[in-house]
Amino acid sequence: MSWQSWVQIALFFVVLLGAVRPLGSYMARVYEGQPLALERVLGPVERTFYRLAGVRRDDDTSWKTYAVDLLLFNTAGLLIVYGLQRLQGVLPLNPQSLGAPSPDLAWNTAASFATNTNWQSYGGESTLSYLTQMVGLTVQNFVSAASGMAVLVAMIRGFTRRSAKGIGSFWVDLTRGTLYILLPLSLVVAVVLVSQGVVQTFSAYRTVPLLEAFRTNDGKTLVEQVLALGPAASQVAIKQLGTNGGGFFNANSAHPFENPTALSNFVELVSILLIPAALTQTFGRMVKDERQGRALLAAMLAVFIPMLALALWQEQAGNPALTALGVNQLHGVLQGGGNMEGKEARFGAASSALWATATSAASNGSVNAMHDSFTPLGGLVPMALIQLGEIVFGGVGSGLYGMLVFAIVAVFVAGLMVGRTPEYLGKKIEVKEMKMASLVILVPVACVLLFTAVAVVTSAGTKGIMNPGAHGFSEVLYAFSSAANNNGSAFAGLQADSPFYNTLLGVSMWLGRFWIQVPVLAIAGALAAKKAIPQGAGTLATHTPLFVAMLVGTIVVVGALTFIPSLALGPIVEHLLLHSS
């Protein structure tokens, strides 16, 4: 691996971790309602939204009301995106006169963007109009991300409040997260991306002459090419910051109009983990103990760094099948070396492995290389990170509340080991919390394994598998892992644009988002109603290296017991076959 790759990785961690404290502290001030400099500009807009919605900034609702508001809002978003797609042929801002997607594809896309998954069974430049991309998808990129952050804040209030009936207002949390966090950051990132050449225009597609004629396999000679354009930069910024991941173009961040330079690649890469990492500081500030946030961040890094090392090792080592054919995959003056199949030459194997690890550690799903072309164990890394529940950083909000659920499980197990009533941050962890935590962990697992089983034993499912054997199974397993855990990336060899996959993946995305958020809010409500327990001599310290190790162990054991059998049928056996030939 080149020294430039090492420098990029080191700089990535320096910038990311350096931003945790200032950004996380700022977000804590946003959600605690403290004065902000941006209120001079955005305060009137915020108050206007409250008047239109009929809510007050100091509203405080029960967890059930909070959950109903969340579900109604996101269901309305799904219906609006579905309607925009089905009517886009007669709506404006459609310079290419694109028709309506099929009902099953429209359902899949609407469910995908309403759930912050952004799985794409379509090519954006050949399927969706500018209006649908902006009013439908980009708006959902903002509000689905803000919804996840709102649920996290509600859960944090469960720990900080004492004998309370309310956990805040969904509408206030949604509005403040969008106005004061996502919009300003997106504006800055979008301007940087435009400066690097990411397109932002309402112009129709351009037809340009080729420098050299190209002969196709059927004997035709092409002398010109159509260049897809559009308002991409504004969507790319929030797709990364909001851990959404849906590309404006089909090739996502491997497309030169979405990610043209090394600087744009670095900015987009940092943006993926920026808010999820900083939210650990937000958590520490809001519970009045920053050590708690640092412990959760340490647990995330303890899983992320070894997985990154595995991906870098496997992709930089190259593909033994290509080595057997005499292909030079060694690092040299003219090449970065490694497995370059499915990767952009301008990024290389190391940068692609770093991106793949980051995008699947977060609930992002954007790609700058094709995961389907990774080595078997290189592809196992993003798949395993997704299957752990998208908690190693995870989506904005959703990653940290998922990690907090695992923390609750960890202290419960620790309490059983020493014979004490488990407690976390001064709150007893009892039967109700454990039942809800079990749902949070088991629902995505059930969706992944059951739907994968259905896909590989039915004719409708096997029709979409283009690669036989272990790799084909990996493609199906990855698809449902990605959908149920709201990631959105794919092993793209699977032909998923069919009524079977569009419908089943859409259902999986919906269950994986809201059958998780509702139990999390139930936990928040139960914790908020409890009294605080003073710490005693037997209280488990949850900010120490011992607890970090226990938390990581809980995550790994649950993931290993659940998914190693299925991984053994896919990437693990594929790795063994590749190296035995």
**What total of structural domains would you count in the chain?**
1
- What tens digit of pLDDT does each residue of 510-521 get? 999 999 999 999
- What tens digit of pLDDT does each residue of 447-474 get? 999 999 999 999 999 999 998 889 999 9
- What tens digit of pLDDT does each residue of 50-105 get? 999 899 999 999 999 999 999 999 999 999 999 999 999 999 999 999 999 999 99
Measured from the Cβ of residue 33, the count of other Cβ atoms closer than 10 Å reads 12
538 pLDDT higher than 80: no
332 pLDDT higher than 80: no
* Lowest-pLDDT range of 92-101, 301-310, 525-534, 535-544: 535-544
Please state the rounded mean pLDDT for residues 295-315. Answer: 96
Eight-class DSSP state of 275: H
Domain that holds residue 379: 3-580
Residue pointed to by tokens 């399927």:
127
Predicted confidence at residue 319, as pLDDT, reads 86
Helices 3-31, 290-317: crossing angle, 10 deg rounding: 150
Reduced to 3 states (helix: H, G, I; strand: E, B; else coil), residue 32 is coil
581 pLDDT higher than 70: no
- Cβ neighbors of 285 (< 8 A, separation 6 or more) are 24, 25, 28, 293
Predicted confidence at residue 496, as pLDDT, reads 93
CA angle 355, 263, 492 (to 5 degrees): 30
Cβ-count burial 262-298 (b if 16+ within 10 Å, e if not): eebbebbbbbbbbbbbbbbbbbbbbbebbebbbbbbb
182 pLDDT higher than 90: yes
534 pLDDT higher than 90: no
354 pLDDT higher than 70: yes
Percent of the chain scoring above 70 in pLDDT: 99
Predicted confidence at residue 1, as pLDDT, reads 75
Average pLDDT, the chain: 93
Strands (E), 260-405: none
- What tens digit of pLDDT does each residue of 142-180 get? 999 999 999 999 999 999 999 999 999 999 999 999 999
